[in-house]
Chains A and B, each alone.
Chain A
């Protein structure tokens, strides 16, 4: 698989007078794992929505492999290799686990589906209607659906929300194994999880990037501390 760079250049999104995302410029290297953190309303999910085409940009551009993808439809962006997991687990409730993967996997490839089931630990739940799955398994199913697309970029919006401590640690371990194979951009609130990932961390506040770097450095950043302590 050819990995390509995802670039955001002065990406902004306004909702009337409210600026949800302001002039975000970031490059995500092929195979890189990056986390985006920030308080509620910082613009993290809005940024992901713009990358995957469910929300148009107000200004700026997003390029993928040197080609502009901003302005293209969500389905076309997905076909280019950008997969997304939503904040609230988004699976097809009337379909079984296996059928969900039949829909998501490229050409419904059975080998890919079986491997995905094993990886996300849902082999024994293959015939369970996905609406009846517990929250944690829905999260994993959605991650599995994204992976079965064989993406070049994986966008994960709060993949550990509602997971136990053990499940969260397992998710961090699993995502670390993806390094070098697929570009992963994770939005998270769980700082222990972000620390476990040990990846580049981008901090958003009021829609703008206020810090970017290794988590250890971000943790020591006074501005970031002020934001998280509500002093700004």
Chain B
């Protein structure tokens, strides 16, 4: 038998891992991203600037989905990495007096690097320490609280409660993204790159290995996988992308404040991912846009109503849609189809 497995003769049946054609999720992603890219033709500069921020928040949601959606481990502290990216950019560009031509790139490096290093240190201790499930979620929740306290308390550097104002628009290689259209396409470009890159990588064997670890980590280890390292690497990459989203977000809004590194944002990003469907990659992008629209409507009625609404929605998600809204809709549709089938 093992001789048969070791034989170099071709197998009788050889099929590809998956069809070479585009997968449904890739097609949906292409359609959604094409629709978003055309937005600049139809909306004004102000709306475009708002959507620039939404696309960066969608990139943030994508970063969480790469970790949570694939490993099944929920990080309740992803705002820490988004905030680190934003503060890294703000502190570097405002306080260091770097040549404006290079300030954005330096800020990007500090923001992304800072988020990755913090994720690597925290992730090393908790993932190699065997912390999983709800305990992982609690530890990362605590991380956000600590990071928020530092952002508020270390006022000489972070500006304290007021934050830092005056982050310059993103500029690199002689190009400035001050114009709303350029800013929009900068955000769109980053989102498109990481969305299609993650669809490509996680659509292959890497995604299967992560799913295997999610299903049964001990079994995956007995197949020879360094599961702790794989989880840590995924966590660090996810945090780095969140940091990148935060860093570019700061250059768009022009300021950073402690609410970029707070529990509310950590909660919101979970809701965005859950609404769109965790593990789908394009789902969190759609979820972010949908929930942001909802936030816009609710906040226009009463600004204070949004935190209450998102809190209630979060509880609803946990109790009624633990697998996410799309999974609930699919199950409901299957039930309806079954019921209709029985009636006929």
A residues within 8 Å of B by Cβ?
A: 1, 52, 54, 73-75, 78-79, 83-84, 86, 90-95, 98-100, 102-104, 108, 110-112, 114-116, 118-119, 123, 145, 147-151, 174, 177-178, 181-182
Contact among B14, B16, B223 for A103, CB-based, below 8 A: B223
B residues within 8 Å of A by Cβ?
A: 1-7, 10-17, 205, 208-209, 211-212, 214-216, 218-227
Nearest-Cβ distance from residue A101 to partner chain B, whole angstroms: 10
Known: A94-B215, A103-B205. Is A114-B13 also a contact (CB below 8 A)? yes
Q: Are B1 and A119 in contact (CB under 8 A)?
A: yes
Nearest-Cβ distance from residue B145 to partner chain A, whole angstroms: 33
What is the CA–CA distance of A151 and B16 in the complex, to the nearest angstrom?
24
Contact among B1, B6, B216 for A90, CB-based, below 8 A: B216
Contacts of A52 in B (CB 8 A): 222
What is the CA–CA distance of A75 and B230 in the complex, to the nearest angstrom?
12
Contact among B4, B11, B205, B220 for A102, CB-based, below 8 A: B205
Q: Are B1 and A78 in contact (CB under 8 A)?
A: no
10 A-B pairs besides A54-B222, A149-B223 with CB distance below 8 A are A78-B222, A83-B222, A90-B218, A92-B211, A92-B215, A94-B214, A95-B212, A99-B211, A111-B14, A115-B7
What is the CA–CA distance of A54 and B219 in the complex, to the nearest angstrom?
10
Look across to chain A and name the residue whose beta carbon is closest to the beta carbon of B11: A114
Q: Are A110 and B17 in contact (CB under 8 A)?
A: yes
What is the CA–CA distance of A174 and B3 in the complex, to the nearest angstrom?
13
What is the CA–CA distance of A184 and B208 in the complex, to the nearest angstrom?
28
- Could you name 11 residue pairs across A and B whose Cβ atoms are closer than 8 Å? A1-B6, A54-B218, A54-B222, A73-B226, A75-B224, A102-B205, A110-B15, A145-B223, A147-B5, A148-B5, A182-B2
What is the CA–CA distance of A24 and B41 in the complex, to the nearest angstrom?
76
Nearest-Cβ distance from residue B247 to partner chain A, whole angstroms: 34
| Majority SS at the chain A contact face | helix
What is the CA–CA distance of A84 and B223 in the complex, to the nearest angstrom?
8
Contact among A73, A74, A78, A178 for B2, CB-based, below 8 A: A178
What is the CA–CA distance of A123 and B12 in the complex, to the nearest angstrom?
12
Contacts of B2 in A (CB 8 A): 1, 147, 150-151, 178, 181-182
Contacts of B220 in A (CB 8 A): 92, 103
Known: A102-B205, A103-B205, A115-B4. Is A75-B225 also a contact (CB below 8 A)? yes
A-B complex: 4 closest residue pairs judged by Cβ atoms: A78-B224, A114-B11, A92-B215, A79-B224
Contacts of B225 in A (CB 8 A): 75
What is the CA–CA distance of A125 and B309 in the complex, to the nearest angstrom?
46
What is the CA–CA distance of A147 and B15 in the complex, to the nearest angstrom?
20
Q: Are A111 and B215 in contact (CB under 8 A)?
A: no
What is the CA–CA distance of A73 and B222 in the complex, to the nearest angstrom?
9
Look across to chain A and name the residue whose beta carbon is closest to the beta carbon of B215: A92
Nearest-Cβ distance from residue B131 to partner chain A, whole angstroms: 18
Contacts of A116 in B (CB 8 A): 5
Contacts of A147 in B (CB 8 A): 1-2, 5
Look across to chain A and name the residue whose beta carbon is closest to the beta carbon of B9: A111
What is the CA–CA distance of A181 and B219 in the complex, to the nearest angstrom?
24
Q: Are B17 and A108 in contact (CB under 8 A)?
A: yes
What is the CA–CA distance of A123 and B13 in the complex, to the nearest angstrom?
10
What is the CA–CA distance of A75 and B128 in the complex, to the nearest angstrom?
14
Q: Are A178 and B11 in contact (CB under 8 A)?
A: no
Contacts of B205 in A (CB 8 A): 102-103, 108
Nearest-Cβ distance from residue B323 to partner chain A, whole angstroms: 12
Contact among B13, B212, B224 for A92, CB-based, below 8 A: B212
Contacts of B1 in A (CB 8 A): 119, 147, 174, 177-178, 181
Contacts of A90 in B (CB 8 A): 216, 218-219
Q: Are A95 and B223 in contact (CB under 8 A)?
A: no
Q: Are A115 and B5 in contact (CB under 8 A)?
A: yes
What is the CA–CA distance of A95 and B205 in the complex, to the nearest angstrom?
12
What is the CA–CA distance of A54 and B13 in the complex, to the nearest angstrom?
36
Look across to chain A and name the residue whose beta carbon is closest to the beta carbon of B16: A110
Q: Are A99 and B11 in contact (CB under 8 A)?
A: no
Nearest-Cβ distance from residue A176 to partner chain B, whole angstroms: 10
Q: Are A92 and B216 in contact (CB under 8 A)?
A: yes
Look across to chain B and name the residue whose beta carbon is closest to the beta carbon of A103: B212
Q: Are B208 and A112 in contact (CB under 8 A)?
A: no
Contacts of B17 in A (CB 8 A): 98, 102, 108, 110
Looking at B1, B14, B218, the one whose CB has the most chain A CB atoms below 10 A away is B1
